[in-house]
Amino acid sequence: MSAFAPWQQRVLDSALASLAEGRLGHALLFSGAAKMGKGEVAMRLAQRLLCPTPGADGLACGRCRACQLFAAGTHPDFKFTSFIPNDKGDKLRSELVVDQMRELGHWFSLTPQMGAAQVAMITPANAMNLNASNALLKTLEEPSRDRYLLLVTDRPGRLPATIRSRCQRLEFRPPGKAEALAWLRERGHGEAALAPALHASRGHPGLASEWLATGGLELRRKVLSELNALSEGRQSPIELAQRWLEDEHAPLRLRFAAELALDAAAERLGAGPATGLTVPGDFQMLSAWFDGINRTREQLAVPALRHDLALAGLLLEWRSMSKATAMQGARR
């Protein structure tokens, strides 16, 4: 089994300690930012709960029949629930639906086939729609020995409070800077890019590592230079809006644009490092723009809307923000 990152290991250790002391909940909520490896830890714990002969280290033995079936993905007492194909079968649904939760409730009512326990995992748990959440609540209200429900989410606030309150929380916290940098270094990323990547990811090493591997940082640099071109009148807002939205990187571009505005706002207060943005908007303007971009990003999932118009409006605002402040400067 591969070694976990320190922030994963801390969560696993605390879950194993709870289990050893007999106070591990039957409904567990694995929460924390994206790319922190929550699902991997949940799987490792699931395997442990299903293994009848755990080792002295508290982990699954990895050798028994239950462990072999688990590793093969065919353990009859483990159920994994995530997105399923839509009715047409041409793509995955964007929600977890009520039928899935009913099926899960029914499955939990059966006797474990191998005897040790039944473990179900739901990911991402925040994708349950309202009916699905209500159906799951019924299952949660009937706790039973040796039945474990593992919920995994990077947006726990989107789960109904009625569900959250019934779960024991296992929270993944971002590590300190030194630990994060050491981990990124171990992944073989070039030294010079480590700190900028960690900064861009707001201290989340998993995300930083992904961006280093897939060109996310270059995309961020491009967004920065495009915003500067906009401020300086070298770029049309409408043309840029269309370009930003033309491919699957649209949400990431908007995320970077929003965060750059937030960094620039902090810079105005003397509270952050230089961003390299030439837009001189003030703190309030930049904060409002940050909100606007985030709203547009949230709405990208709604296909009926004219995202290009909404975004072009914001980019136009970005340009006038620069002009307004430039004129103020000239009067001084």
User: How far is residue 206's CA from residue 184's CA, in Å, rounded to a whole number?
Assistant: 8
By beta-carbon proximity to Zn ion, the closer residue of 67 and 223 is 67
Query: What's the closest the beta carbon of residue 12 comes to Zn ion, in angstroms?
Result: 16
Query: What's the closest the beta carbon of residue 70 comes to Zn ion, in angstroms?
Result: 8
Other beta carbons within 10 Å of 107: 16
Contact 156, 168 (CB under 8 A): no
Using DSSP's 3-state secondary structure scheme, residue 205 falls into helix
By beta-carbon proximity to Zn ion, the closer residue of 69 and 182 is 69
User: How far is residue 275's CA from residue 297's CA, in Å, rounded to a whole number?
Assistant: 21
Residues pairing with 28 in the sheet: 150, 168
User: How far is residue 149's CA from residue 167's CA, in Å, rounded to a whole number?
Assistant: 9
Query: What's the closest the beta carbon of residue 71 comes to Zn ion, in angstroms?
Result: 10
By beta-carbon proximity to Zn ion, the closer residue of 12 and 127 is 12
Supply 96's token pair: 């977890």
SS3 for 38-60 is: HHHHHHHHHHHHHCCCCCCCCCC
| Neighbouring residues of 270: CB distance < 8 A, sequence distance ≥ 6 | none
By beta-carbon proximity to Zn ion, the closer residue of 114 and 229 is 114
Residues pairing with 134 in the sheet: none
Query: What's the closest the beta carbon of residue 64 comes to Zn ion, in angstroms?
Result: 4
Chain positions contacting Zn ion, by CB under 5 A: 51, 60-61, 64, 67
Return the closest-CA partner of residue 220 out of 258, 190, 180, 187: 258
By beta-carbon proximity to Zn ion, the closer residue of 48 and 319 is 48
By beta-carbon proximity to Zn ion, the closer residue of 60 and 159 is 60
By beta-carbon proximity to Zn ion, the closer residue of 2 and 87 is 2
User: How far is residue 212's CA from residue 218's CA, in Å, rounded to a whole number?
Assistant: 9
Supply 3's token pair: 């070694």
Query: What's the closest the beta carbon of residue 63 comes to Zn ion, in angstroms?
Result: 6
Query: What's the closest the beta carbon of residue 300 comes to Zn ion, in angstroms?
Result: 44
Query: What's the closest the beta carbon of residue 57 comes to Zn ion, in angstroms?
Result: 12
User: How far is residue 172's CA from residue 7's CA, in Å, rounded to a whole number?
Assistant: 7
